[in-house]
Structure 1
């Protein structure tokens, strides 16, 4: 807190010179005040207050750990510094974001470890969790830095701090193999998605962050289901792209999916992963059956893949019909369907249902999906795809954008999966 107060005083006093130029953000030079640094200092103070037990640590809400607070602040400071250094030679957004991630991870790990030493807290067995928090924070910070303005550092700091506060409680124990798998697999797939132009920089960062959280908080089985959507959905976007572009219905940026598209399809899934972690008996933040979140996750992913295949493949065929009236409409009309697209959607839902049956509990022994459960996921995927078409025909354009339609469709798929699972008894616990 003393350091933050000194920063605030210094930012208010320093109005020019080398020190001013070092910390000046866009607009600061015109106003001759380091307002960006002042805002960052205030954000540090505000986040620091969450570490005070008397203010926060009441009931079942624990305070923000001091080592996590220190790691968050250093992560953003050195992530920004690294990205600025990289930008001087490699201004490409990919390299700038990579610089932020590298600097942020290094500083985040070092900050947490040094703070734990100074606070006389044990280090044994903590490194995997420290790395997990630093990596998660660095990717969220890089994503927000890429999407927001440079003077939005206070918002970035608070967002990263709140995420790491939550993750610290949701992951009481992180194992070496989990973080190794999360880093190795997701970094390779993230780079490939960008190199193959199936995702923008923001889309790649979002996908990597969601994948890391899914592996650590859910397990490899959960990640296998998630990656099936990312991989097959990306390939379907490229399918006969020129034909779709000529019709004016192709995805923008040569089919590279951005943050909005990734979150529109996967936001419900990641909330389900967080809910599953919170319902774990070792965490017990939510006292509900974690199977609810498994079926919500699988149902939302089945919907996302089903809808994506239906749209991307069905769009290249003629004679689409509006789902609400079955009247012929132009290709690309919101809510239009073709029999080929519907068949492709059913195949997509079947793929996710099959993978769910194979990987639970084969790769993740915490829950089991029976053959009946796989049928539940299939029904949920088809139901969510139908909801997407109905929303497209009735609300898209006037009330909802495409990403909003995707979100509500995946939410519908999750709800259908949960309701049907418990009606037919498609879930069992070990």
Structure 2
């Protein structure tokens, strides 16, 4: 057994001690955490130190990796016992991180394939997350354990799968010693999702996972997404299906599919003139989130309004149009830049002066036309799938996409590079498209 596997085994055992909270109460869990932290502070060398230390711990002579890990678990436990977060989510999250890490470290002894390692982590982490939740509920409910656990299994599976995907994504973009950040992030996400009261059955959750994983892997195999981009897309797709529906997912995936393929359009020519996406066109998590963060917030808002968590009496249709407006913007802007960049000399949108290809804020008429077509595609899909989207609604979505694309170009010409990065520009552009779409719907509703 290698050192990373031995260390991961001990950390997984420590994670199992989270069951002390449902078994003995928060004070018992706190006492165990104090003992572990004091022991970690006292051990500065020797075989036990070697067993538990991350490579960076040797520089400090302290088991800071273990200490911060336990402190993160304590913080999550405090949230669970002082807020509406259930103790089962706390235990499930701790199990998820600990046993997922152990499985990945063990798998590294047999393979170095990154996709295989991510798959092992997600599978075992999700199973551990479900087990942690189920055991915690069983301990709490005693005699009625089976009756309490079985009806909630679909929800537990959804929370565990979402948490496993987020954990895998964060572990891919952070450092190995950042599991405390991973644990807190996963716990907070699962808490939020539980509050939204997802109602899909077991078959629906399995189908959603199958669809999103299959399409996510295809995007990776086609080199339109990196591993981080694939994980982000799968997570966003899963949340969209479960909290919104398949219609919402089709709108979102249309952007991922068409936008991803557009990055391959005349890729060699783009490389020659210096405007091609890095990594052979594969989009990472930053690019995916920059274009889809507003859309997923709209999905969460829709779910929250349906679960009566939003103050007042919000109209869920507004969130639908905000979602479609943001995706329309993302599609429009992506096609505009990916297709327009290979044509004649672009002109700066603010002055119309000729600029070099790849200049932020540079536009071509071919790119603008491609952007309009992209917005129309999203509007057409929305019109076909949602009864709420009438012909006027489809026109609103097209307008929102064009306005958002224009905002992206204006920000690129004025603020990108000095104040904003590319992902920040994408986020603000999609936000503007979402706001314009919602405001236009409100205006027409008032006028009507």
Shorter-chain TM-score bucket reads over 0.9
* 1:114 pairs with one of 135, 148, 162: 135
Match of 1:345 in 2: 371
Match of 1:60 in 2: none
Match of 1:193 in 2: 219
Match of 1:365 in 2: none
Question: Is the counterpart of residue 393 in structure 1 residue 407 in structure 2?
Answer: no
Question: Is the counterpart of residue 96 in structure 1 residue 117 in structure 2?
Answer: yes
Asked if the contact 1:75/1:105 (under 8 Å) is kept, the reply is yes
Report the Cα distance in structure 2 between the residues aligned to 1:26 and 1:313, rounded to whole angstroms: 46
Match of 1:336 in 2: 362
Equivalent positions of 1:68-107 (< 5 A) are 68-107=89-128
Greater Cα offset, 146-155 or 25-34 = 25-34
Equivalent positions of 1:10-409 (< 5 A) are 10-52=39-81, 55-56=82-83, 63-120=84-141, 122-280=148-306, 282-287=307-312, 288-361=314-387, 368-409=388-429
Match of 2:38 in 1: 9
Greater Cα offset, 282-291 or 221-230 = 282-291
Report the Cα distance in structure 2 between the residues aligned to 1:18 and 1:421, rounded to whole angstroms: 66
Report the Cα distance in structure 1 between the residues aligned to 2:87 and 2:189, rounded to whole angstroms: 15
* 1:418 pairs with one of 438, 441, 444: 438
Asked if the contact 2:335/2:367 (under 8 Å) is kept, the reply is yes
Report the Cα distance in structure 1 between the residues aligned to 2:431 and 2:363, rounded to whole angstroms: 21
Greater Cα offset, 12-21 or 387-396 = 12-21
Report the Cα distance in structure 1 between the residues aligned to 2:70 and 2:59, rounded to whole angstroms: 20
Asked if the contact 1:14/1:20 (under 8 Å) is kept, the reply is yes
Name structure 1 gaps, 5 residues minimum: 57-62, 362-367
Closer, same or farther in 2 for the Cα pair 1:233/1:172, shift >3 Å?
closer
Greater Cα offset, 308-317 or 92-101 = 92-101
Asked if the contact 1:373/1:427 (under 8 Å) is kept, the reply is no
Greater Cα offset, 243-252 or 148-157 = 148-157
Give 1:31 deviation, angstroms: 2.9
Equivalenced residue count is: 413
Report the Cα distance in structure 1 between the residues aligned to 2:383 and 2:446, rounded to whole angstroms: 11
Closer, same or farther in 2 for the Cα pair 1:258/1:172, shift >3 Å?
closer
Closer, same or farther in 2 for the Cα pair 1:304/1:427, shift >3 Å?
farther
Give 1:426 deviation, angstroms: 10
User: What's the secondary structure of 1:333's corresponding residue?
Assistant: coil
Compute the RMSD of aligned alpha carbons. Answer: 1.7
Asked if the contact 2:198/2:242 (under 8 Å) is kept, the reply is no
Report the Cα distance in structure 2 between the residues aligned to 1:317 and 1:86, rounded to whole angstroms: 47
Report the Cα distance in structure 1 between the residues aligned to 2:50 and 2:446, rounded to whole angstroms: 62
Give 1:223 deviation, angstroms: 0.4
Report the Cα distance in structure 1 between the residues aligned to 2:245 and 2:447, rounded to whole angstroms: 18
User: What's the secondary structure of 1:369's corresponding residue?
Assistant: coil
Residues 8-36 of structure 1 deviation map (CA, whole Å, 9 limit, x = unaligned): 23322344455434432221133332210
Residues 84-124 of structure 1 deviation map (CA, whole Å, 9 limit, x = unaligned): 11222323332332222122111001111111111115123
Report the Cα distance in structure 1 between the residues aligned to 2:336 and 2:62, rounded to whole angstroms: 53
Asked if the contact 1:275/1:286 (under 8 Å) is kept, the reply is no
Give 1:143 deviation, angstroms: 0.6
Report the Cα distance in structure 2 between the residues aligned to 1:17 and 1:96, rounded to whole angstroms: 31
User: What's the secondary structure of 2:277's corresponding residue?
Assistant: coil
Give 1:330 deviation, angstroms: 1.5
Asked if the contact 1:225/1:298 (under 8 Å) is kept, the reply is yes
Closer, same or farther in 2 for the Cα pair 1:102/1:196, shift >3 Å?
same
Report the Cα distance in structure 1 between the residues aligned to 2:47 and 2:446, rounded to whole angstroms: 66
Normalised to the residue count of structure 2, the TM-score between the two structures is: 0.89
Give 1:394 deviation, angstroms: 1.1
Residues 326-373 of structure 1 deviation map (CA, whole Å, 9 limit, x = unaligned): 122221111111111111101100000011111114xxxxxx211111
